[in-house]
């Protein structure tokens, strides 16, 4: 399903999502990355500039 503010975004569900529907989806944009709750696909999103997202993920422990 598309999001009204990001109609061309290709949303990807987390590989760590279970079957219970408690999932997040991400979409890469030219400007950065957006994250949404898969249960509320047209609902609010979190938006991060590329450099901020890279800094965040670069500080996460590897393998977790």
Domain boundaries, the chain: 1-12+24-64
pTM (predicted TM-score)? 0.75
Q: Which neighbouring-strand residues pair with 26?
A: 12, 35
Rounded CA separation 19/60 (Å): 25
Rounded CA separation 64/48 (Å): 21
Structural element, H or E, at residue 27? strand 24-28
32-51 tens-digit pLDDT: 999 999 888 888 999 999 99
Rounded CA separation 39/23 (Å): 7
**So what's the pLDDT on residue 64?**
55
**So what's the pLDDT on residue 26?**
92
Torsions phi, psi for 51 (to 5 deg)? -65, -35
């Amino acid at each position: 399903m598309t999001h009204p503010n990001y109609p061309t975004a290709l949303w990807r569900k987390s590989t760590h999502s279970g079957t219970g529907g408690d999932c997040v989806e991400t979409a890469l944009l030219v400007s950065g990355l957006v994250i949404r709750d898969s249960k509320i696909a047209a609902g609010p999103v979190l938006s991060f500039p590329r450099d901020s997202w890279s800094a965040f993920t670069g500080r996460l422990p590897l393998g977790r």
